[in-house]
């Protein structure tokens, strides 16, 4: 029987306090976006900067310099960004009049960033803009290009003296998008190339999941309350399910990138393993970058791939065509005989005292039945069944769910007796819904992360050792998969049925709403 909500928590909503996070003019960095004509800049980065600016977090005069290969008049770039704001900003900006004051902060510089020649021109242009805007010359470079350019761009910025050493009066930081490498060896190489130019403290490897409010709320829930944390261990937890399910496919534009990447690299290496490390980590002594990331790293380093045939612990799938939906192999940019996975499911173990023997089930996929990102902690059944002599069946054991998307919530299911003379047990839910309780629009992950990068707080960014540890796991799965075929699944389903084998020794099933 479906669980019924019976209660909801009420929250005290603290007044918004932008002032503590406001960046003063003398600390404000010029934001330089490489790959500024690409999707990410228009959909996420410019809207995030706009919302930070209108929200009072940034000084009035800023400079955002878009760098891309194509020649483009600055005005055209500004009006493209206005259009992007109309479509993608969570606050929108209504009309062009409202956009004008903001886009006067935006500049465009054409640069073939694969050659070194133009970097001198870029240095001069940035210095001119900073002089004109009265900005001090701190820099935040944002690499939103294809990943093969990351090392080269950073090396050219270094040789062109556009990156100041760590500790210099003028600060330089670089935000690097995913994918950070293609496997363990390439990630290690990229890390060493970058660190030859700048210090780890200046590098911000972004995973936008870490900027999501409800992901941060997992830390608040675990370490800001006393009643749940004692239960987070192998004594009480049967298994943990981490699902990142999407209903979209290649969206007509991502086939080429995705076919070289696949679900494991695209989502498991970063988002899913970051969620796993947050839900499983020990409490850090302080919520700061070093200690938080040390604890997450310990979890990743303890992840074991199970022994035994790979089909028993890892499943790879690819969507076929469905009514009105192109099959993966017919998507633009996808090789007609591609075996790239659009779905991946894994059963992993964390070999430490807290979690030994507890399966962590991860799955992600495109063209699935529902868009849903959640972590479900499935607790064990009670050690003895007090009601069994009455012939009463136990419902599913307690489940604690952190729902990250689409409706952010935390819920806990437990058994209750429905009214009546008969004694039965029925699952009910305690539900905390973020939107209903706080009645405030959530900021976008990129807003939070850009502000943190501007302020120099790397707690919610991935450190080099974390990235490499996650690649160790993913490269191990790729290795195990090398002779394994891909299972087909129909769009609008929950993926290949073979994934059910991963959970069949656990309490309950995959949570498929
Ligand atoms: C990105 C992946 O990192 O995350 C995409 O490249 C995926 O394939 C996206 O769609 C999911 O992010 P969100 O925030 O929509 O869950």
Q: What is the pLDDT of residues 20-42, one digit of tens each?
A: 789 999 999 999 999 999 999 99
* CA–CA distance, 235 with 443 (Å, rounded to integer): 37
pLDDT at residue 1 greater than cutoff 70: no
Residues 6 or more apart whose Cβ sits within 8 Å of residue 241: 361, 363, 374, 375, 376, 378, 503, 510, 511
Question: Cβ atoms within 10 A of the Cβ of 156, count?
Answer: 23
Q: Which pLDDT value is given to residue 95? A: 66
Write the residue with the smallest CA distance to atom 9 of ligand 1. Answer: 267
Q: At 7, is the pLDDT very low, low, confident or very high (cuts 50, 70, 90)?
A: very low
How far is the centre of ligand 1, averaged over its atoms, from the C-alpha of 394 (Å)? 38
Average pLDDT over residues 458-463: 96
The residue whose two tokens read 């995959």 is 510
Cβ 188 under 6 angstroms from ligand 1: no
Q: How confident is the model at residue 114 (pLDDT cuts 50, 70, 90)?
A: confident
Least confident of 1-10, 77-86, 150-159, 319-328: 1-10
Residues 400 and 224: their CA atoms lie apart, in Å, by: 16
Residue 391: per-residue pLDDT: 86
C-alpha 451/C-alpha 23 separation (Å) is 9
CA–CA dist 475, 58 (Å, integer): 40
Question: What's the gap in Å between 248 CA and the centre of ligand 1?
Answer: 10
246 touches ligand 1 (CB under 6 Å): yes
Q: How far is the CA of 297 from the centre of ligand 1 (A)?
A: 23
Cβ atoms 477, 331 nearer than 8 A: no
Q: Tokens representing 446? A: 């990129």
For ligand 1, whether the C-beta of 447 sits within 6 Å is no
Q: What number is the average pLDDT over the span 353-374? A: 97
Predicted confidence band of residue 118 (pLDDT cuts 50, 70, 90): very high
Q: What is the mean pLDDT of the chain?
A: 93
* pLDDT computed for residue 299 by the predictor: 98
State whether the beta carbon of 405 lies less than 6 angstroms from ligand 1.
yes
Q: Which stretch of DSSP H or E encloses residue 76?
A: helix 74-88
Cα–ligand 1 centroid distance for 202 (angstroms): 25
The predicted model gives 240-262 an average pLDDT of: 95
Q: Cα 295 to the chain's mean position, in Å?
A: 18
Active site residues: 271
CA of 163 to the centre of ligand 1 (A): 30
Q: Is the CB of 374 under 6 A from ligand 1?
A: no
Q: How far is the CA of 274 from the centre of ligand 1 (A)?
A: 14
Nearest to 488 by CA among 272, 291, 319, 263: 319
The per-residue pLDDT for 435 is 87
Protein residue with its CA nearest to atom 10 in ligand 1 = 246
Please say whether the beta carbons of 113 and 154 come within 8 A: no
373 ligand 1 Cβ < 6 A:
yes
Cα separation values, 243 from 254, 302, 371, 486, 513, Å: 21, 21, 10, 20, 12
Among 33-37, 93-97, 382-386, 455-459, which stretch is predicted with the lowest mean pLDDT?
A: 93-97
Q: Can you give the pLDDT at residue 94?
A: 59
Cα separation, 79 vs 86, whole angstroms: 11
CA distance 357 to 341: 28
Q: What is the pLDDT of residue 5?
A: 44
Choosing from 267, 274, 449 the residue with most ligand 1 atoms within 8 A of its CB, the one to mutate for a pocket test is: 267
134 pLDDT above the threshold of 90: yes
Q: 80 in ligand 1 pocket by Cβ < 6 Å?
A: no
What percent of the chain has a predicted confidence (pLDDT) above 70?
A: 95
pLDDT at 23: 94
Q: What is this structure's pTM?
A: 0.94
User: Which atom of ligand 1 is nearest the CA belonging to 258?
Assistant: 8
Cα gap 35→407, rounded to integer Å = 31
Percentage of the chain beyond pLDDT 90 is 82
The reply to whether omega before 179 is within 30° of 0 (cis) is yes
Angstrom distance (rounded) from CA 264 to CA 178 = 13
pLDDT at 325: 95
What is the band of 9 on the pLDDT scale with cuts at 50, 70, 90?
very low
**How many residues are there in the chain?**
513
CA distance 72 to 368: 39
What residue owns the CA closest to ligand 1's atom 8? Answer: 266
Neighbour count for residue 18 (Cβ, 10 Å): 12
Task: Measure the CA–CA gap between 510 and 505, rounded to whole angstroms.
Answer: 12
For the CA of 246, the nearest atom of ligand 1? 10
266 within ligand 1 shell (Cβ under 6 A): yes
Q: What is the pLDDT of residue 311?
A: 92
> What residues does 389 pair with on adjacent strands?
none
163 φ/ψ sector (left φ>0, alpha ψ -120 to 50, else beta) = beta
pLDDT the model gives residue 17: 58
> What is the dihedral angle through the alpha carbons of 155, 160, 161, 165, rounded to the nearest 10 degrees?
0
Tell which atom from ligand 1 comes closest to the C-alpha of 445: 14
Which residue has its alpha carbon closest to ligand 1 atom 7? 267
Q: How confident is the model at residue 440 (pLDDT cuts 50, 70, 90)?
A: confident
Burial group, residue 200, by CB count within 10 angstroms (0-12, 13-18, 19+): middle
Quick one: CA torsion of 455, 459, 461, 463, rounded to 10 degrees? Answer: 120
Evaluate if residue 152 carries a pLDDT over 90: yes
Whether the CB-CB separation of 478 and 307 falls below 8 Å is answered with no
The yes-or-no verdict on residue 415 having pLDDT over 90 is yes
Q: In angstroms, what is the span from residue 267 Cα to ligand 1's centroid?
A: 7
State the pLDDT confidence band at 11, using cuts at 50, 70 and 90. very low
Atom nearest to 248 CA in ligand 1? 10
**Residue with CA nearest ligand 1 atom 13:** 209
| Residue among 465, 75, 138 at smallest CA distance from 301 | 465
pLDDT band at 389 (very low <50, low <70, confident <90, very high): confident
Q: Report how far ligand 1's centroid is from the alpha carbon of 446 (Å).
A: 12
Q: Spell out the residues 6+ positions from residue 314 whose beta carbon is closer than 8 angstroms to its own.
A: 344, 345, 346, 347, 477, 480, 481, 484, 502
Atom nearest to 209 CA in ligand 1: 14
């Amino acid at each position: 029987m479906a669980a019924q909500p019976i209660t909801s928590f009420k929250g005290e909503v603290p007044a918004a306090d932008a002032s503590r996070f406001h960046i003063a003019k003398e600390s404000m960095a010029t934001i330089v976006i490489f790959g500024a004509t690409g999707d990410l800049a228009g959909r996420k980065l410019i809207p995030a900067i706009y919302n930070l600016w209108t929200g009072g977090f940034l000084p009035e005069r800023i400079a955002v310099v878009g760098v891309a290969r194509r020649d483009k008049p600055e005005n055209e770039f500004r009006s493209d960004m206005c259009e992007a704001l109309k479509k993608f900003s969570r606050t929108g900006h209504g009309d062009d009049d409202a956009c004008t004051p903001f886009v006067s902060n935006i500049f465009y510089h054409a640069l073939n960033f694969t050659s070194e020649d133009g970097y001198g021109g870029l240095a001069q242009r940035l210095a001119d803009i900073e002089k004109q805007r009265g900005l001090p010359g701190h820099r935040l470079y944002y690499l939103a290009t294809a990943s093969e350019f990351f090392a080269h761009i950073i090396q050219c910025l270094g040789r062109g003296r556009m990156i100041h050493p760590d500790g210099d009066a003028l600060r330089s930081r670089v935000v690097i998008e995913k994918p950070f490498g293609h496997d363990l060896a390439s990630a290690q190489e990229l890390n060493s190339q970058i660190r030859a130019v700048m210090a780890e403290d200046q590098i911000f490897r972004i995973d936008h999941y870490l900027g999501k409010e409800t992901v941060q709320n997992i830390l608040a829930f675990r370490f800001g309350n006393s009643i749940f944390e004692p239960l987070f261990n192998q004594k009480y937890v049967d298994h943990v399910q981490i699902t990142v399910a999407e209903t979209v496919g290649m969206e007509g534009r991502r086939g080429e990138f995705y076919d070289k990447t696949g679900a494991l690299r695209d989502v498991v290496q970063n988002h899913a393993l970051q969620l796993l490390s947050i839900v499983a980590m020990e409490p850090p002594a302080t919520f700061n970058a070093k200690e938080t990331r040390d604890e997450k790293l310990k979890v990743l380093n303890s992840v074991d791939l199970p022994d035994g045939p790979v089909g028993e612990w890892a499943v790879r799938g690819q969507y076929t065509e469905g009514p009105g939906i192109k099959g993966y192999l017919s998507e633009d940019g996808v090789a007609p005989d591609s075996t790239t996975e659009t779905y991946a499911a894994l059963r992993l173990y964390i070999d430490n005292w807290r979690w030994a023997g507890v399966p962590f089930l991860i799955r992600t996929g495109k063209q699935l039945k529902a868009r849903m990102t959640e972590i479900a902690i499935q607790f064990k059944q009670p050690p003895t069944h007090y009601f069994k002599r009455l012939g009463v069946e136990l419902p599913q054991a307690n489940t604690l769910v952190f729902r990250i998307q689409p409706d952010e919530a935390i819920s806990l299911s437990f058994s209750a007796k429905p009214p009546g003379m008969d004694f039965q047990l029925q699952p009910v839910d305690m539900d905390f819904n973020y939107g209903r309780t706080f009645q405030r629009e959530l900021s976008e992950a990129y807003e939070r992360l850009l502000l943190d990068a501007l302020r120099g707080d790397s707690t919610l960014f991935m450190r080099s050792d974390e990235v490499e540890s996650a690649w160790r796991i993913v490269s191990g799965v790729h290795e195990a998969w090398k002779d394994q075929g891909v299972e087909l699944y129909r769009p609008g389903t929950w993926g290949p049925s073979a994934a059910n084998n991963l959970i069949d020794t656990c309490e309950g099933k995959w949570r498929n709403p």
